[in-house]
């Protein structure tokens, strides 16, 4: 086997066997990596041109019932400064974001029982009523089928739930009292309900090897998510993995480029974690096939409290500063900021047209209602 031949096969067919992917990861050279990035960038340009989509991130709670060993907001971390945003605070974040051109809001939080289905439906309904043209992405962890369904019917469009790792033993060693099977079932449920789904994993986890990463790639190929977020493992000082070595930009970029070849139409974030361990990490991610960035809309007073890992960037920037900064960086890297919902091309053209048709119908209904004159 030859690494470049495998890259070419992926480029032309989006397919490779377990043996081929493992050979590639075990034997890829510096020159091969450059070639891989060139091909993944080309695939991204063919599907999305040089467009990069922005999502406004609202981190609205750092309470969590889970005890994931790598996470700074795990329930056992008694040093975490806990907070919850109110409905009004969430709407204020969204208002700032909409004025700055964000057409997707990402509501992200720990698995916080305080935010019941009723509370989440209220938040989603308020956001959709105020910003009918904007997409709402949720990232709230594992919930029941009925819970996901209620939020979808309220107007949520997308759901991010990283599968974390495709290795059952590794997953369960990192997630005490959590079920590997339930995690996957949640992703299946979300897709069945009608969400655009996002999966993903961390690169460089303790005890992770290339076999595990190949399993991740093949699982993603089978799942065919609309989005896929990956980032390097970054240790947090107040977790059991504080003294472990973190993942590298180089390995993460290699995996990102492979995902672009395997899932040519998926949306792939150049994650904040990449930028947190390398000043040009996000730009490198974009050049390897990424096409999404997620600047923070959360109040600056809580950003440092949402500490999943140490060294997170942009915790002190105001939303407008963050927006201007990221656009300049995107442009300087040779890309263009695309200001719209940025729906995944994994959706069929018919599905995308239906989304925009429904938005248009809703807008027309609102215009007509506003034009009604009440006769006494």
Q: What is the pLDDT of residue 321?
A: 80
Report the distance separating Cα 144 and Cα 105, nearest Å.
Answer: 22
Q: What is the pLDDT of residue 366?
A: 54
- pLDDT of 150 strictly over 90: yes
Instruction: Tell me the HSE value of 213 on the side-chain side, using a 13 A CA sphere.
Output: 28
Q: What is the pLDDT of residue 143?
A: 98
- pLDDT of 370 strictly over 70: no
Mean pLDDT of the chain: 95
pLDDT in tens, 288-309: 999 999 999 999 999 999 999 9
Strands of 102-169 (E only): list them: 104-109, 135-139, 158-160
Q: What is the pLDDT of residue 148?
A: 98
Q: What is the pLDDT of residue 373?
A: 45
- pLDDT of 363 strictly over 80: no
Q: What is the pLDDT of residue 376?
A: 40
Provide the terminal-to-terminal Cα distance of the chain, rounded to the nearest Å.
Answer: 82
Q: Is the dihedral angle over the CA atoms 236, 242, 238, 120 positive or is it negative? A: positive
Cross-strand partners of 17:
none
Residue 279 CB coordination number (10 Å): 9
Any idea where the domains of the chain sit in the sequence? Answer: 50-370
Report the distance separating Cα 217 and Cα 15, nearest Å.
Answer: 10
- pLDDT of 108 strictly over 70: yes
Mean pLDDT of 9-31: 98
Say how far residue 328 (Cα) sits from the centre of its chain: 22
The confidence band for 107, taking pLDDT boundaries of 50, 70 and 90, is: very high
Decide: 106 and 128 in contact? Cβ < 8 Å: no
Phi, psi of 89 (to 5 degrees): -65, -40
Q: What is the pLDDT of residue 365?
A: 56
The confidence band for 369, taking pLDDT boundaries of 50, 70 and 90, is: very low
Which of 191-200, 230-239, 316-325, 365-374 is least confident?
A: 365-374
Decide: 157 and 198 in contact? Cβ < 8 Å: no
Mean pLDDT of 228-255: 97
Q: DSSP 3-state assignment of 178?
A: coil
Q: What is the pLDDT of residue 306?
A: 96
Q: DSSP 3-state assignment of 337?
A: strand
Share above pLDDT 70 across residues of the chain, in percent, rounded to a whole number: 96
Is domain 50-370 in CATH 3.20.20.70, yes or no?
yes
> Tell me, what DSSP letter sits at residue 84?
B
Helix axis angle, 249-262 relative to 18-27, nearest 10°?
150
Tokens of 220: 């993603």
Decide: 292 and 230 in contact? Cβ < 8 Å: no
- pLDDT of 68 strictly over 50: yes
The confidence band for 82, taking pLDDT boundaries of 50, 70 and 90, is: very high
Mean pLDDT of 266-286: 96
Q: What is the pLDDT of residue 371?
A: 52
Q: What is the pLDDT of residue 361?
A: 72
pLDDT in tens, 178-237: 999 999 999 999 999 999 999 999 999 999 999 999 999 999 999 999 999 999 999 999
Mean pLDDT of 66-89: 98
The confidence band for 320, taking pLDDT boundaries of 50, 70 and 90, is: confident
Q: What is the pLDDT of residue 374?
A: 44
- pLDDT of 76 strictly over 50: yes
Residues sharing a CB contact under 8 Å with residue 114, sequence separation 6 or more, in sequence order: 61, 63, 84
């Amino acid at each position: 086997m030859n690494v470049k031949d495998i890259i070419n096969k992926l480029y032309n067919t989006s397919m490779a066997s377990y043996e081929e992917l493992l050979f590639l990861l075990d034997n890829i050279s510096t020159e091969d990596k450059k070639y891989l990035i060139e091909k993944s960038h080309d695939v991204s340009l063919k599907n999305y041109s040089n467009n990069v989509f922005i999502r406004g991130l609202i981190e609205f709670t750092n309470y969590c019932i889970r005890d994931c060993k790598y996470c700074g907001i795990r329930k056992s971390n008694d040093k975490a400064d806990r907070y919850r945003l109110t409905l009004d605070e969430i709407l204020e974040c969204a208002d700032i974001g909409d004025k700055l051109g964000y057409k997707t809001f990402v509501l992200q939080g720990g698995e916080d029982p305080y935010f019941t289905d009723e509370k989440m439906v209220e938040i989603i309904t308020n956001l959709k009523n105020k910003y009918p043209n904007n997409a709402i992405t949720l990232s709230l962890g594992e919930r029941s089928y009925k819970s996901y369904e209620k939020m979808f019917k309220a107007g949520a469009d997308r759901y991010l739930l990283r599968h974390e790792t495709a290795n059952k033993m590794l997953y369960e060693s990192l997630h005490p009292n959590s079920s590997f099977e339930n995690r996957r079932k949640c992703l299946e449920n979300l897709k069945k309900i009608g969400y655009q789904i996002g999966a993903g994993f961390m690169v460089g986890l303790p005890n992770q090897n290339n076999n595990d990463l190949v399993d991740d790639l093949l699982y993603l190929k089978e799942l065919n998510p609309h989005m896929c977020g990956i980032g390097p493992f970054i240790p947090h000082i107040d977790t059991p993995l504080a003294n472990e070595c973190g993942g590298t930009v180089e390995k993460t970029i290699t995996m990102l480029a492979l995902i672009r070849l395997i899932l040519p139409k998926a949306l792939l974030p150049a994650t904040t974690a990449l930028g947190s361990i390398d000043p040009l990490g996000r730009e490198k991610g974009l050049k390897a096939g990424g096409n999404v960035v997620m600047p923070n809309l959360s109040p600056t007073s809580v950003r440092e409290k949402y500490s999943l890992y140490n060294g997170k960037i942009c915790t002190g920037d105001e939303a407008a500063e963050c927006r201007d900064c990221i656009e300049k960086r995107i442009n300087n890297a040779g890309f263009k900021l695309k200001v719209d919902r940025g729906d995944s091309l994994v959706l069929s053209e018919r599905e995308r047209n239906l989304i925009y048709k429904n938005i248009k119908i809703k807008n027309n209904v609102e215009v007509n209602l506003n034009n009604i004159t009440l006769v006494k």
